[in-house]
Structure 1
Amino acid sequence: MAPNVAHVFRRLGSREILAGLLVAVNLLICGVLLSRPRAAAPILPIQSATQQPVSDVSFKELPAGERPGASPDDAQTRAAIECYRRRDYANAVEALRACLRRAPGDARIRDMLAVSLTRVGDRDQAEVEAREGVRLAPDALTPLNTLAFVLFAKRDYSGAEAVYRQILALYSKEYTALKNLTNVLELQGDRAGAERVITRMAYLYPEETYGYYVLGKFNIECDDAGSAEEYYRFIRERGVSSAGPELDYRLGSLLLAQGRYQEAVDTLQPALKLASGRKEDTSGYLAAKIRYTLAVALQKKGDIPGARTQLTAMLSTPLAYEARQALARSPFR
């Protein structure tokens, strides 16, 4: 059975936020805060509830009369769309522009162009194209989602929030808009607003795990480790592959902070294995975070050689500085 959402928000009355779980981890191993400040780099929001390119999702919702001047279904158009679907965005930009020169009123092609421009970094022009797409099809879901996506990429969070709210006024149960609205509210510091949206999302989609994942994070920040663990274990027991090693990293860190060292080790070891082979983690930062936390857990349970092995393996990772500092201190020096 899913955890009780109402129970969690009764516990959210406390605003005594933890200094941060990773800070606690660093203090455990080194006695001082070693992590260097890192600028936040928010991940672009998902573009559709099905993880497909945004332009392929909702143009089926458009009545035929709302696609004036559609591009002809010929080799040139098909080649441009195929380029986009292969995520060859640099070439897609030119191919899609060529299509629009023939059919400037095609909202679907313009939408693909906006996404492609965002992906190649031309976000100002992407916004121009996205707004034109919304003008061409003002009540269609896809152009609005794309405009919000572009604004988020530009870190115009208030603008993205306005568009997501516009989407929800038209499509009140739209999963993607609910999910991304939670993100932009939190990035703007509106935790209360994010809580309201995520609670609504959990009730509307009780079989989805994202809402429970965020609720667990909120409970950690409100010093309610028990409820946070309940949510994380619920997601794990569902066997949701999309949760990935990040979920086990959070759960392992939570167990570590509670002094449950062996459980933390048992949770973090498979998470490290998964993260080490993850193509999305191109910098290796997630794997390094997991390895560092695993080293802490091993050290706290008395396995100094095991902890040293993990820290040594970090010397060529983005957290090499932290590893060197830890190895220079007792009991490793």
Structure 2
Amino acid sequence: MLVLSRFSGSPAPRAAFPATRLRRVRATDWSRRLVRETTLSVDDLIWPLFVMDGSGEQPVGSLPGVNRLGETDIVATAKRAVDLGIPAIALFPATDPKLKTEDAAEAFNPDNLVCRVTRQIKDAVGDSLGVILDVALDPYSSHGQDGLVRDGQVINDETVDVLCQQAIVQAAAGCDIIAPSDMMDGRIGAIRTALDEAGHSGVQIMSYAAKYASAFYGPFRDAVGSAASLGAADKKTYQQSPAQSDEAIAEVALDIAEGADSVMVKPGMPYLDIVARVKETFGVPTFAYQVSGEYAMLRGAADAGWLNGDAVILESLLSFKRAGADGVLTYFAADAAELLHRV
């Protein structure tokens, strides 16, 4: 029997059965822990949170257990993330529909919802928690697209100009990581240049480098209120086709060359092959997003008693690490952190 070494890629010889019995190392908990190839810790978690104007909490029907949080509540949740040891949160705004316009101007308003909330969070917790802000226009556009629309088409270069403005106001508000999720061509290089010229050279860019036009985003769009705006339209002209793998590698290569500090694959579990290819090819910090549809399926099955919720949370997150992800954006972050603290 030959086994490939995961360190060198060269064959590692093993004796044939019965001299080799792989069950020997699985026989006890201490032994399984001793030979464990992949580990999951709280340090691997990023917690996506939805913020709304005002105070209180507002349930998201398609995301059981996930709420939109008012400004005071989001600060308290950020403090909870610090207490749990979660390294970073990612904020997504449920923008007042009255503020949504064709040109998505609210995206680069320096006093918009996420900018206000970011300042409050950083005042409360400082550098004990990273704050990640999305760069895309869909939460602010009346049409629900990630970019500007002209004659029914999402236009690239003019959108990139607006994304740069959006990134600058978010960095000025104190966010630590800019996360462009729009999938416009050339936006990483343009945003990096814009941030540097505006005096924000220390702000990281985590690029949604391989973002697919997926059917798993539905509950997220409900949460930020872009589903109604998008209507029957789709995002297939700029997000990747689920049929593509080599194209993802090309997208990641471009974003790294343009200055991305880290890259992301989205969605997560249906695209673990992409996570593995990206990490093996580039060796850069690689993240995956366990998106809203993935969360809703697992949470729904657990709530119905069809799955052991605690077990599938940790197993699903471990699968990202095994594939090569350095961290995972997951709505299970707080649950997972509490479970990991018990281990």
- Short-chain TM bin: under 0.3
Which structure's CA Rg is the greater one? 1
- Give the structure with the higher percent helix: 1
- Give the structure with the higher percent strand: 2
Q: Which has the higher contact order (CA 8 A, sep 6+)?
A: 2
Q: Normalising by structure 2, what TM-score? A: 0.25
